[in-house]
Amino acid sequence: MSELLVEARGLGKAYPKVHRSSDRLRALGRLLFSGGDADRISVLRDVDLDVRRGESLGLIGANGAGKSTLLKLITGVLTPSTGSVRVRGQVGALLELGAGFHPEYSGRDNIAMAAALHGLDGAELRRRLPEIIAFADIGHYIDEPVKHYSSGMVVRLGFAVIASLKPDLLVTDEVLAVGDESFQKKCVRWMQDYLDDGGTLILVSHSMYHIQKLCRHACWLRDGEVAMAGDVFDVTQAYLAWHERKSAPQEAKPDVDRHNVEFSVLGMSLDGRSSEQPLLLDFGAPLRVDCRIRSRDDRVPSVAIGVTRADGTPVYGVSTDMDGCTPQRVGTGEYACSLAFDALPLLPGSYTVRVHPLDPEGVRVFDTMERTLTVRGATREFGLVRLAHRWGAPVAGDAAHE
Partner 1 sequence: MNAMPPATLTLRFLQREFRERFTGSLSGSAWALLQPLIQLGVYSFVFVHVFKARIPGADAPGYVPFLVTALWPWNAFSEAILRSTSVIQNNAALIGKVALPREILVLASVCTSFAVHIAGFVAILLVLRVGTGDIAIRGLPIALLLYVPLFALALGISLACAAVQVFVRDLAQLLGQLLPLMMFGAPVFYDRALLPPAVQPWLSLNPFTFYADAFRVALLHHGSVEWQSVAVAVVVAALVLAAGIVVFRRLDAHFEDFL
Interface with partner 1, residue 15, by CB under 8 A: yes
CB nearer partner 1, residue 99 or residue 310: 99
Q: How far is CA 125 from the centre of its chain?
A: 37
CB nearer partner 1, residue 91 or residue 346: 91
Cα separation of 306 and 326, whole Å? Answer: 17
Q: Of 122, 198, 230, 286, which one interacts with partner 1 (CB under 8 A)?
A: 122
In the β-sheet with 349-358, what is the strand arrangement from edge to edge?
279-282, 369-376, 349-358, 302-309, 314-319
Interface with partner 1, residue 118, by CB under 8 A: yes
Interface with partner 1, residue 77, by CB under 8 A: yes
Task: Return the residues of window 28-47 that contact partner 1 according to CB under 8 A.
Answer: 28, 31-32
CB nearer partner 1, residue 168 or residue 359: 168
| Residue 316 CB burial class (10 angstroms; 0-12, 13-18, ≥19) | middle
Interface with partner 1, residue 91, by CB under 8 A: yes
Q: Of 8, 44, 57, 112, which one interacts with partner 1 (CB under 8 A)?
A: 112
Torsion angle of alpha carbons 377, 378, 384, 386, nearest 10°? -90
Cα separation of 67 and 49, whole Å? Answer: 13
| Pair 360, 224: CB distance under 8 Å | no
Beta strands in 212-262 (DSSP E): 217-222, 225-231
Interface with partner 1, residue 164, by CB under 8 A: no
CB nearer partner 1, residue 59 or residue 337: 59
The closest alpha carbon to 316, from 352, 292, 288, belongs to: 352
Select from 112-120, 215-223, 224-232, 279-287 the region that touches partner 1 (CB under 8 A): 112-120
Task: Give residue 354's identity as a one-letter amino acid code.
Answer: R
Instruction: Please report how close the Cβ of residue 40 comes to partner 1 at its closest, in angstroms.
Output: 9
Element (H, E) at 263: strand 263-270
Select from 115-123, 178-186, 198-206, 290-298 the region that touches partner 1 (CB under 8 A): 115-123
Cα separation of 122 and 104, whole Å? Answer: 21
Task: Give residue 67's identity as a one-letter amino acid code.
Answer: K
Interface with partner 1, residue 245, by CB under 8 A: no
Cα separation of 371 and 367, whole Å? Answer: 14
Interface with partner 1, residue 344, by CB under 8 A: no
Cα separation of 53 and 88, whole Å? Answer: 10
CB nearer partner 1, residue 96 or residue 244: 96
| Pair 217, 226: CB distance under 8 Å | no
Give how many residues touch partner 1 by CB under 8 A: 37
CB nearer partner 1, residue 118 or residue 243: 118
The closest alpha carbon to 384, from 375, 393, 394, 395, belongs to: 375
Q: Of 121, 255, 257, 297, which one interacts with partner 1 (CB under 8 A)?
A: 121
Interface with partner 1, residue 21, by CB under 8 A: yes
Interface with partner 1, residue 161, by CB under 8 A: no
Instruction: Please report how close the Cβ of residue 132 comes to partner 1 at its closest, in angstroms.
Output: 16
Interface with partner 1, residue 95, by CB under 8 A: yes
For binding to partner 1 (CB under 8 A), which residues are involved? 15-16, 18, 21, 24-25, 27-28, 31-32, 72, 75-79, 87, 90-91, 93, 95-96, 98-100, 102, 105, 112-114, 116-122
